[in-house]
Amino acid sequence: MSLETIQIEHVPATHRVHVALFRDVSNADFLQSQLLARNADFEYAFIDASSVASRLQLLSAVYRALTNLIDGTLQTNNVHSEVVISLSPSNNIAEAYRRWGITLGKTKDIVVAKIIYPPSLPSPSEDSTAPAPTLPTTEDIWAHLSENVKGTPVPLSDEQISKSTDWPKLRKYYALNGLPVLAKITDEAAKVKEMERLIIMRMALRGL
C-alpha cells in the first residue's frame, strides 16, 4: 500500500494525516469534477506534483491547514482545500487552486493528502446514545483512492517528488527569480535547498 500515514509534530493525536503520490494519472479531469461537485466522498487535497518542491514543503502546508482547522480560522470550505491554498504565497484563492490544484488536461502526477479528524463533538445534552460516527481506516481510504485515481502509486519521497518538480514554474510562483541570495550560490544542490527554505518562508508569510 502506497498510502503513507504521517505523524506531524504539534498535531493533536486525534488528527491523522495520509499522503500518496500517483504518477501518470489518466483521470485527473474526473477527479477535479468531483471536487467541483463537492462530492463528499472525494474530500482530498489533490495537488499537481509539478508545483511541489519537497515533502517538507507539502507537510508545511498540511501543518498550516491543520492549525487553521483547529483554531477555526479556515479560509476555505474544508481542511483539504486549505492545504492547497496553504501552498500559495498569495491570498488569491482562485489562483492557488489554478496553480497547485488539478489543471484540466495538464496535470499528470498528483500528490494526495487526506486529513482524518473526529467531527466536532455533539453537545452532551443531546442524544448521547447515538453511536459515535466511525472514522475511515487507512485501508478504507486506500481502497477508495486506488479505485478512483487511475495512475501508478509511488512512495512520496523527495526523490520521487523531484522527478515531477517544474522549477521554472516554482521560481515564478514564489518570486524567486533574481534574488541576491540565490545568485550567490553556485552549487546546484545547495541552491535547491535554499529555494526550499525560501518557499516555506513565503508560504508561512502568506497573508502578512
Residues near another protein, by CB under 8 A: 8-13, 56, 59-60, 63-64, 67, 71, 73, 179-181, 184, 197-198, 200-202, 204-205, 208
Decide whether 64 or 80 has the Cβ nearer to another protein.
64
Distances (CA, A) of 160 to 44, 99, 111, 120: 20, 20, 11, 36
Decide whether 154 or 204 has the Cβ nearer to another protein.
204
**Cβ atoms of residues 57 and 161 within 8 Å:** no
**Cβ atoms of residues 196 and 56 within 8 Å:** yes
Decide whether 30 or 167 has the Cβ nearer to another protein.
167
**Cβ atoms of residues 52 and 165 within 8 Å:** yes
Closest approach, Cβ 189 to another protein, in A, equals 14
Measured distance between the N- and C-terminal CA atoms of the chain, rounded to whole angstroms: 40
Decide whether 93 or 204 has the Cβ nearer to another protein.
204
Rounded CA-CA distance 16/76 in Å is 20
Rounded CA-CA distance 138/149 in Å is 16
C-alpha cell at 144: 477508495
Decide whether 102 or 156 has the Cβ nearer to another protein.
156
